[in-house]
Amino acid sequence: MFEVKGATFAINGKPLLQPIEHTFQQGKVYGLIGHNGSGKSTLIKLLAQQQPVSQGEIHFDQRSLSAWGNREFARQVAYLPQHLPSAENLTGRELVAFGRYPWHGLLGRHNQKDKDAIDRAITLTHTEAFADRLVDTLSGGERQRVWLAMLLAQGSRFLLLDEPLAALDIAHQVEVLALIRKLCDELGLGVIIVLHDINMASRYCDELMALHSGRLLAHGTPSDMMSNSTLEAIYGLPMQVMKHPNGEHDIAVAQ
C-alpha cells in the first residue's frame, strides 16, 4: 500500500501541495476530485515518482519511494499521465507490449511469459478486435482501453491514472470507468484516479479524496462525501444531492 506522511510539494518556494496524510490500499478504487489546480495531478505525480516530495515522505510497501529503483518500482506501480505520449505508427498490440519494459528494458526480447501477459491484458480489456490496428486510427474510448491494456501487461499491483476520461464523451467515460472498476474487483488492483465528474467518481470509486488549493479538504466513502454542504465546500457553489432515478446511488447537481 501507499502511505503518504506529511508530503508536500513546492516550486520556487510556492506551495502547490500542503502536508497530506493518507493511506491507499490495494483492492480499492480511490477518486481524487476538486477544482483545476487543486493539487490532484501534483499528488498523483508524487505517488508515481514523477517528481520528488519537498517535505515529508511517501512509502510504498513500507519502503520510501526514494529507495525504489525506477524499473523495480514500475513492476509494482503503473502510471498513465494526463498528456499521453505519441503512439504514432504503433499498433494496439505493439503499444501493449511496451508494458513489459520494466522486466526487460526497451531492447529485451519477449519470452513466452511476456507474450502471455500481453495476450491476457488484451483479453481483459476486450481490445482483441482492434489490437492490430494503428493506435492513431482508434476512437477515444478504444485508445484509452489500449493504454489500460499496456498498464495491465506491466503486471503492476497499483494503477495511477491522471484524468483518463479527458476528451471522452459520456458513453466512453462510462465504458472506461466500468472497465477500471471491473479490473480492480477481479484482479485486486489498487487504483488511484483523477476525476472531474463527481457523479462518475461516486458511482465507481470506493473512496473519494477532495483537494482544494493544495489541501486535503475532505475524504471518505461516496455516501460520506455526497452531501450538499461537503460538495459546496469542494466546488464553491450551491449543490443539491438527490437519489438517482434507479435508486441505486446518489447524484449531485449544481443549483
Range of the domain at 24: 2-218
Pairing of strands 55-60, 2-11: antiparallel
Are 116 and 103 in contact, with CB atoms under 8 Å apart? no
Q: Which residue is listed with cell 510539494?
A: 9
Overall domain count for the chain: 1
pLDDT attached to residue 247: 62
The pLDDT of residue 178 is above 70 = yes
In a domain, 174, yes or no: yes
In a domain, 34, yes or no: yes
In a domain, 241, yes or no: no
On the CB side of 129, CA atoms within 13 Å amount to 7
What mean pLDDT is reported for the chain? 90
| Alpha-carbon distances of 192 from 23, 70, 109, rounded to whole Å | 11, 19, 31
Taking only the tens place, the pLDDT of each residue in 125-163 is: 999 999 999 999 998 889 889 999 999 999 999 999 999
CATH code assigned at 54: 3.40.50.300
pLDDT attached to residue 107: 64
Confidence bin at 10 (pLDDT 50/70/90): very high
For 222, phi and psi rounded to 5 degrees? -55, -40
pLDDT attached to residue 106: 63
Q: Which helix (H) or strand (E) holds 43?
A: helix 40-47
pLDDT attached to residue 141: 86
In a domain, 117, yes or no: yes
In a domain, 177, yes or no: yes
Pick 29 or 87 by higher pLDDT: 29
pLDDT attached to residue 82: 86
Mean pLDDT (whole number) for 190-194: 96
pLDDT attached to residue 8: 94
Residues of the chain with pLDDT > 90, as a percent, come to 63
Are 51 and 26 in contact, with CB atoms under 8 Å apart? no
Mean pLDDT (whole number) for 6-35: 93
pLDDT attached to residue 105: 63
In a domain, 230, yes or no: no
Pairing of strands 77-80, 158-162: parallel
Taking only the tens place, the pLDDT of each residue in 35-86 is: 888 899 999 999 999 999 999 999 999 999 999 999 999 999 999 998 888 8
Q: Which residue is listed with cell 465528474?
A: 197
In a domain, 248, yes or no: no
In a domain, 58, yes or no: yes
